[in-house]
C-alpha cells in the first residue's frame, strides 16, 4: 500500500504553503552553492525547456564511496572490475564503481550470515536497535543536501525534489521504522482444550534486497528500514544506473553504530550480482522492486534454489479516470502530475488517462497547455520540473513508444521528441485519440508520455 501512495505524499509536500517544508533545501549551503553555480552559468529560474541545451551545472558534491560494502568495510570487487555510472544530463561518466559478481555476493552473504548467527544485532534489545536507527536518521538530516546532490547527479531528478522531499522522506521513514523496533510482538490465542497457544515474531535471517533506479533512496529506506527494525541482516544490490547514494548513506549508518556485516551493499548488474543473490542458498528472504519481466526471473530463481519467500513490487499501467462531473481544471493538474512526476519514471504513474466525452475537449486543451508549460532542463537549476531520463536505453525505449503511437493513429498533440542535442531529455508528450489496443495504452512506457482516451 505504501508504494501506491507515493505520488499523493509527494504532492502534499510540493503543494503545501508551509515554508518549513522547503527551508532545508532552499536555505542550505549546498542549495546556495547550486544557485551560485546556476547564476555563474547565466541561468535564471524563469528560463524554459531550452535550458537542457545549456552547459550543465557542476554538482555541489564529490563522490567518496565507489567500492562494495562488505562486513563493514569498503572493498574492491573480487575480480577488480568496475563499471561506469553516468550523468543523465550529458551521458558522461561520473565515476567508476566496483562491479560485484557471484563471488562478491558470496562474500556479502557470508558476512551477513555470520552477523546474524553470531553477531549482536539480532540479540541486542529492540530499544538499542531503535537508537542506532534514530542516530542514522539524524545523520541523514545533517547530510540532507549532499545526499540529494548525489541522487540528482546519478538519477537526473530535480534537485529540489531530492532535497526538499525525497531525502527528508527517507529520514522520516527510518524514524518511523525505528519506532516499530520495540513494538513488534506476538500474541496468545484461546484454544479448544487445555492448551497454551502463543505466536512469536522473530527475525527471519539474511534478507536479500534488490532496488530499482527510479527512487534509489526511498527504495533503500523501504527495504532496509523494516529489515533492520526486525533484527535481520541484509545484502542489498543497488541498480547499476544509480549506486552512489546507497553507498553514501550506508557509511552514515555505520557511523551511527551499526555492527559490521549487518548491512552489505553490492553494486553490479542483474544477470550476475542480482541472479547470484536471488538464487543464493543462504539468503532467507528476498525483496525485489523493478520490472515485471525481471520479477518473474527473480521469483523463478528463488523457487529453484531454497524456495525462499519473495516480496515483489513490479510495474503498472494505472488508469486515471476523469468523470463528467469533475472539476476539469483540477483534474487536468492532477493527471499531469500523476503522469509527469519524476520524468514519468514511476511504477504507479497515472499513465492511462480516461476522460468522459462530455469534458474531453476541454480536458485535452488544458492538458496540452500544462505539458507545453512544463520546464525541462538541468535538474540542479532552480525551478526545473523535469530532468533527463535515466539513461540511453530508457531514452530510446520512450522514443520508440512515441513513434508507435504516431504510427498507430493516435494524435500527437505536443512534444514527441528529444530536447537538445546532449543528454537524455524528452519533451513532455501528450497523445489524444488513443485506443485500448495501442501499445501506448497497454505497455508501461516509464516516461513523460500522457495517453488520453475518451470514454462514454
Per domain, the residue ranges of the chain are 68-184+202-313, 319-454
Measured at the CA of 10, the angle between CA 8 and CA 15, to 5 degrees, comes to 95
CA distance 431 to 48: 22
Q: Does residue 2 surpass a pLDDT of 50?
A: no
DSSP letter for 268, please.
B
Single pTM value for the model: 0.88
Question: What is the b/e burial string over 337-372, where b = at least 16 CB atoms within 10 angstroms of the residue's CB?
Answer: bbbbbbbbbbbbbbbbbbbbeebbeebbebbbebbe
Query: How many CA atoms lie within 13 Å of 318's alpha carbon, on the beta-carbon side?
Result: 19
* pLDDT tens, position by position, 56-93: 999 999 999 999 999 999 999 999 999 999 999 999 99
Q: Does residue 345 surpass a pLDDT of 50?
A: yes
Provide mean pLDDT across the span 210-223: 98
319-454: CATH topology is: Aldehyde Dehydrogenase; Chain A, domain 2 (3.40.309)
Q: Does residue 205 surpass a pLDDT of 50?
A: yes
DSSP letter for 162, please.
I
Residue 15's pLDDT is what? 34
DSSP one-letter string for 338-371: HHHGGGG--TT---EEEEETTTHHHHHHHHHHHH
Provide mean pLDDT across the span 329-355: 97
Same topology between domain 68-184+202-313 and domain 319-454: no
Q: Does residue 260 surpass a pLDDT of 80?
A: yes
* pLDDT tens, position by position, 282-325: 999 999 999 999 999 999 999 999 999 999 999 889 999 999 99
CA distance 148 to 323: 38
Average pLDDT, the chain: 90
pLDDT confidence band for 199 (50 / 70 / 90): very high
Given a contact cutoff of 8 angstroms between Cβ atoms, the answer to whether 401 and 440 are in contact is yes
Distance of CA 46 to the CA centre of its chain: 28
Residue 325's pLDDT is what? 97
Residue 54's pLDDT is what? 73
Active site residues: 313
**253 compared with 34, residue with greater pLDDT:** 253
- Beta bridge partners, 452, equal 353
Phi then psi dihedrals of residue 182, to 5 deg: -100, 20
Non-local CB neighbours of 132 within 8 Å, separated by 6+ positions: 256, 257, 258
CA distance 371 to 414: 7
CATH 3.40.605.10 fits 68-184+202-313, yes or no: yes
User: Could you report how far apart the first and last alpha carbons of the chain are, in Å?
Assistant: 30
pLDDT confidence band for 53 (50 / 70 / 90): low
Written in H, E and C, the secondary structure of 99-131 is CECHHHHHHHHHHHHHHHHCCCCCCCCHHHHHH
Given a contact cutoff of 8 angstroms between Cβ atoms, the answer to whether 87 and 56 are in contact is yes
Residue 50's pLDDT is what? 47
Q: Does residue 32 surpass a pLDDT of 50?
A: no
H helix and E strand count, the chain: 16, 16
CA distance 133 to 426: 39
Amino acid at each position: 500500500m505504501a508504494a501506491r501512495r507515493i505520488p499523493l505524499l509527494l504532492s502534499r509536500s510540493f503543494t503545501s504553503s508551509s515554508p518549513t517544508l522547503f527551508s532545508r533545501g532552499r536555505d542550505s549551503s549546498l542549495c546556495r552553492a547550486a544557485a551560485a553555480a546556476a547564476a555563474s552559468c547565466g541561468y535564471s529560474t524563469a528560463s524554459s525547456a531550452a535550458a537542457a541545451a545549456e552547459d550543465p551545472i557542476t554538482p555541489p558534491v564529490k563522490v567518496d564511496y565507489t567500492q562494495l560494502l562488505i562486513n563493514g568495510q569498503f572493498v574492491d570487487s573480487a575480480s577488480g572490475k568496475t563499471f561506469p555510472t553516468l550523468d543523465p544530463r550529458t551521458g558522461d561518466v561520473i565515476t567508476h564503481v566496483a562491479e560485484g559478481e557471484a563471488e562478491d555476493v558470496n562474500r556479502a552473504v557470508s558476512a551477513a550470515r555470520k552477523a546474524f548467527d553470531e553477531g549482536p544485532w539480532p540479540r541486542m534489545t529492540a530499544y538499542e536497535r531503535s537508537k542506532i536507527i534514530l542516530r542514522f536518521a539524524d545523520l541523514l538530516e545533517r547530510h540532507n543536501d549532499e545526499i540529494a546532490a548525489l541522487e540528482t547527479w546519478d538519477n537526473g531528478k530535480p534537485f529540489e525534489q531530492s532535497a526538499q522531499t525525497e531525502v527528508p522522506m527517507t529520514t522520516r521513514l527510518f524514524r518511523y521504522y525505528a519506532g516499530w523496533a520495540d513494538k513488534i510482538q506476538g500474541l496468545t490465542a484461546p484454544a479448544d482444550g487445555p492448551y497454551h497457544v502463543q505466536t512469536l515474531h522473530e527475525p527471519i535471517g539474511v534478507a536479500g534486497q534488490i532496488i530499482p533506479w527510479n527512487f534509489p533512496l526511498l527504495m533503500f529506506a523501504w527495504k532496509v528500514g523494516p529489515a533492520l527494525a526486525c533484527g535481520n541482516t541484509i545484502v542489498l544490490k543497488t541498480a547499476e544506473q544509480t549506486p552512489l547514494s546507497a553507498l553514501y548513506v550506508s557509511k552514515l549508518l555505520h557511523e551511527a553504530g551499526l555492527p559490521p556485516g549487518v548491512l552489505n551493499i553490492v553494486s553490479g548488474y542483474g544477470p550476475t550480482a542480482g541472479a547470484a543473490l536471488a538464487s543464493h542458498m543462504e539468503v532467507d528472504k528476498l525483496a525485489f522492486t523493478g520490472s515485471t519481466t525481471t520479477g518473474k526471473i527473480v521469483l523463478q530463481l528463488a523457487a529453484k534454489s531454497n524456495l525462499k519467500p519473495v516480496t515483489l513490487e513490479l510495474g503498472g499501467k494505472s488508469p486515471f479516470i476523469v468523470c463528467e462531473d469533475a472539476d476539469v481544471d483540477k483534474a487536468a493538474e492532477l493527471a499531469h502530475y500523476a503522469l509527469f512526476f519524476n520524468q514519468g519514471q514511476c511504477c504507479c504513474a497515472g499513465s492511462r488517462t480516461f476522460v468522459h466525452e462530455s469534458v474531453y475537449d476541454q480536458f485535452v486543451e488544458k492538458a496540452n497547455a500544462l505539458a507545453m508549460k512544463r520546464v525541462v532542463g538541468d535538474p540542479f537549476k532552480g525551478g526545473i520540473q523535469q530532468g533527463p531520463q535515466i539513461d540511453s536505453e530508457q531514452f530510446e525505449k520512450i522514443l520508440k513508444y512515441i513513434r508507435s503511437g504516431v504510427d498507430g493513429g493516435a494524435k500527437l498533440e505536443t512534444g514527441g521528441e528529444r530536447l537538445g542535442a546532449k543528454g537524455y531529455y524528452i519533451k513532455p508528450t501528450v497523445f489524444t485519440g488513443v485506443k485500448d489496443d495501442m501499445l501506448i495504452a497497454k505497455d508501461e512506457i516509464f516516461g513523460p508520455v500522457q495517453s488520453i482516451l475518451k470514454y462514454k
